[in-house]
Structure 1
Amino acid sequence: MILRASRLPAAALIGAAVLTLTACDGSSPEKQAAAAPAGEAKEQPAASPTPETAAPAAAPPAATPAAGAPDLAAYVGKYPFDKVDSVAFDDHPLVKAGIATTVKDARIRKAIIDTPGPAAPIELIDGKVASWACQQHKCGEHQWMVLVDPKTGATDVCYMNDPEMVDDARWFLANGKEEKRDGDCAAKKG
């Protein structure tokens, strides 16, 4: 895969993501298997309100740790498609429940779950287990990050898919709110 530096915002990708993007063609069998639909019912895309018109929603109930599922902290340093006790991060019950609870837009939920592409190693950010990934050949404009509190399952999701506004991301927060924030979804170190 060839990336042109001019397509990526400055400091957009954490060091590991840059290495992943240059070394990964995004077509690993594990990632393709993780990205395959899991037999979920097909939902019709819904129009989502803009942050300015959306009424603040009540905080959704926090997910509880799944019995028998691996501790999310065990994924730190691994890729989202790597398995711990036969379960990939993307397939972990807390991660799936967190995304389903937090991201109300079915189209965005489907893109996060089903779009194959490069990913960075999972890391711990402010006590949350964070997974970053992007669409192959469009990482600068189509990327997402899922941050899950391993104790409560509370999940925040950053999603960006706008080729003309590469420095503007949508954040779906565990408290039920949605925000637009400057920057992309890659974690910033420093």
Structure 2
Amino acid sequence: MTNNFAPHTLLLGAMLSLGACGQSADKSAADGAAATSPAPSADATAPAKGAEDTGLSAYVGKYPFDEVNGVAWSDHPAVKAGLAATVTDPKIRETIATRAGPSAPIEIYEGKVMAWACEAHNCGPHQWAVLVDPASGATDACYYDEAVDSGRAHWFLAAGKEEWRDGNCQLGQEES
């Protein structure tokens, strides 16, 4: 019997499977789809006011590993400076800045340019998001580690505060 699957069908199946890695069976379909193809937030297609100040608006719609003018999201000076100023835990800062894994397209969320990613094969339990104000560069970062607290995420805020919020770091993907 000959396999007549088109290459794009196989690629789509592989992407959906990757997005569901490490998630429980009851949430894998919903969360995996959200991780790989999030619904844009209401203002996801509109450039953020002042986005030209940091140049981060050029990343909207791209993945964090995609380069803009030869620079990936994590290597952009505004992102690096924001993480260095905001995330006080060096291990968490290094994980957010350097660990490659599945990610969602960068989007505008509540006026900030946001990138979301997770640990390969452990997406549900280990994920993070970085939100940068495109005008000022002020950065907020969310870090979720189910092994530390299964119901809350650790937030590092631009104002120098840290807090724990209910839920994980999947922002924007569930909104329509």
**TM (normalized to structure 2)?**
0.72
Identical positions, percent: 51
| Residue number among 48, 51, 56 corresponding to 1:72 in the alignment | 56
3-state DSSP class of the match of 1:143?
strand
User: Which residue of structure 2 aligns with residue 56 of structure 1?
Assistant: none
3-state DSSP class of the match of 2:103?
coil
Q: Which runs of 4+ in 1 moved over 4 A?
A: 7-14
3-state DSSP class of the match of 1:78?
coil
User: Which residue of structure 2 aligns with residue 18 of structure 1?
Assistant: 36
User: Which residue of structure 2 aligns with residue 173 of structure 1?
Assistant: 157
User: Which residue of structure 2 aligns with residue 124 of structure 1?
Assistant: 108
Superposition RMSD on alpha carbons, in Å? 2.4
Q: Aligned runs of 1:1-190 on 2, under 5 Å?
A: 1=18, 3=21, 4-6=23-25, 8=27, 12=31, 15=34, 17-19=35-37, 71-163=55-147, 165-187=149-171, 188-190=174-176
Equivalent AA in structure 1 for residue 77 of structure 2: P
Using a 3 Å threshold, how does the CA distance of structure 1 residues 19 and 128 change in structure 2: closer, same or farther? Answer: closer
3-state DSSP class of the match of 1:73?
helix
Measure, in 2, the Cα distance between the counterparts of 1:98 and 1:141. Answer: 25
More helix by share: 2
Q: Which has the larger radius of gyration?
A: 2
**TM (normalized to structure 1)?**
0.67
Measure, in 1, the Cα distance between the counterparts of 2:73 and 2:163. Answer: 25
Measure, in 1, the Cα distance between the counterparts of 2:58 and 2:170. Answer: 21
Deviation at 1:161, TM superposition (A): 1.4
Question: CA deviation digits over 1:17-73, x for unaligned, max 9?
Answer: 2349xxxxxxxxxxxxxxxxxxxxxxxxxxxxxxxxxxxxxxxxxxxx56xxxx100
